[in-house]
Amino acid sequence: MTNGPPLRIAQVAPLYESVPPKLYGGTERVVSYLTEELTRLGHSVTLFASGDSVTRARLIPGSPRALRLDPSCVDPLAHHLVLIEKVFQRAREFDVIHFHVDYLHYPVSRRGSVPHLTTLHGRLDLPDLAPLYREYADIPVVSISYAQRRPLPDLAWLATVPHGLPLGMHRPGTGAGEYLAFLGRVSPEKRVDRAIEIARRAGWRLRIAAKVDRADSVYFDNVIRPLLSEPHVEFLGEISEAEKSEFLGDAAALLFPIDWPEPFGLVTIEALACGTPVIAFRAGSVEEIVEDGVSGFVVASVPEAVEAVAALDRLDRAACRQAFEKRFTAARMARDYVRIYREVVARGVGGRRAMRSRLAPPGPARPERPRGDGAKSH
């Protein structure tokens, strides 16, 4: 119960994917892990999500099904506004409301009477966001990494809570498949083209398990598809959650060659849960997750990544799994959030007292904290 009576908690998820998602879906997957763990701890949890979600909590549908898989959905924003209305119609049923829908609820939350917080799951360095967050700088928010905060250090940050996975979700593998893995989404910032080049230069097979969003279809057709004919590349498309353990566990390493300020990178801790080291480019939250020389290698270029592949035999897969168990479980994530909920409830609506350092993760290499923010450096 984390030092106190059970709480009445509302979790408000995006409607793009079910909770948990059928296939790809980072935010909705984290909301599922958190919701189920809070329920296991004995709290009364209500999940606002798509109607095809599966949970032990009370489910209040915001749409009949996940919007990404609904061909009849033309305007997803309309469904989310209805979702927010449903939340506030029931607001007095809860001690605290936990939002995962970015800033859509801000105008209503500011005028509400129930303690609330928002976990920001995306990047915050887009110029369009600056005036919005400047206006709503009083809304209490949680970051998923220290690096995520850098563009907006002056928000009402409550804490940083890294993502976590259920302890038994993934089993450690041996890496016996003799291939490198890329898992996630095909998009310019994820740089699967870099992964293909790294594997080619290193003389390894590369297996790619990734979805292609409609927004990235032109990029896929023009840039990535021609590379998939190379003999060392196997493109699997989007895989299910049940297939991840084998895919990651059999891989010698996960390649994470990102080219953007990744707020977290859920796939990196999925790999660690499988005992699979991560070779990641230094950007965003990478140095907060991957301990260079222990649970993987942090690199700055394709040549450095190729050298890292050659050095994989220096890493202990058991140490990778231990890093996951120590820092990235759903149980740890839920405990962190319960502490935040209790303090938010105690402060009431609108308080700004920060809890920054108390819930800061130990961090593999303790990345340097950015100037202007006393707490943090996804």
Which CATH number belongs to the domain containing residue 42 in this structure? 3.40.50.2000
Looking at residue 112, its pLDDT comes to 87
Strands (E), 92-225: 96-99, 116-119, 140-143, 156-160, 179-185, 205-211
The domain in which residue 13 lies consists of 8-164+330-347
Q: Is residue 297 part of a domain?
A: yes
What DSSP state is assigned to residue 370?
A: P
CB 185 within 8 A of CB 260: no
User: Is the pLDDT assigned to residue 325 strictly greater than 80?
Assistant: yes
Four-residue CA torsion sign, 263, 35, 331, 318: negative
Say how far apart CA 101 and CA 63 lie, in whole Å.
Answer: 14
Q: Is residue 290 part of a domain?
A: yes
User: Is the pLDDT assigned to residue 368 strictly greater than 60?
Assistant: no
Q: Is residue 172 part of a domain?
A: no
Orientation angle between helical segments 317-327 and 266-273, nearest 10 degrees: 120
Say how far apart CA 368 and CA 225 lie, in whole Å.
Answer: 39
| pLDDT single digits (tens) 167-198 | 999 999 999 999 999 999 999 999 999 999 99
User: Is the pLDDT assigned to residue 87 strictly greater than 70?
Assistant: yes
Say how far apart CA 229 and CA 227 lie, in whole Å.
Answer: 5
Helices (H) and strands (E) in the chain, counts: 13, 13
258 and 336 fall within a common domain: no
Say how far apart CA 200 and CA 233 lie, in whole Å.
Answer: 9
338 and 247 fall within a common domain: no
152 and 263 fall within a common domain: no
336 and 247 fall within a common domain: no
194 and 54 fall within a common domain: no
Q: Is residue 312 part of a domain?
A: yes
Backbone phi and psi for residue 26, each to the nearest 5 degrees, phi listed first:
-75, -55
Q: Is residue 170 part of a domain?
A: no
User: Is the pLDDT assigned to residue 248 strictly greater than 80?
Assistant: yes
| Total count of domains within the chain | 2
User: Is the pLDDT assigned to residue 311 strictly greater than 60?
Assistant: yes
Arithmetic mean of pLDDT over the chain: 91
In the numeric block, which tokens belong to residue 203? 């003389």
Task: Report CA Rg, the chain.
Answer: 20
What is the rounded average pLDDT of the residues 4-32?
Answer: 92
196 and 224 fall within a common domain: yes
141 and 237 fall within a common domain: no
How much is the pTM? 0.89
Q: Is residue 278 part of a domain?
A: yes
Looking at residue 356, its pLDDT comes to 41
Instruction: Specify the 3-state DSSP secondary structure of 313.
Output: helix
108 and 155 fall within a common domain: yes
pLDDT band at 159 (very low <50, low <70, confident <90, very high): very high
280 and 159 fall within a common domain: no
15 and 153 fall within a common domain: yes
CB 20 within 8 A of CB 105: no
What is the rounded average pLDDT of the residues 268-276?
Answer: 98
pLDDT band at 1 (very low <50, low <70, confident <90, very high): low
Q: Is residue 193 part of a domain?
A: yes
335 and 287 fall within a common domain: no
129 and 193 fall within a common domain: no
Q: Is residue 106 part of a domain?
A: yes
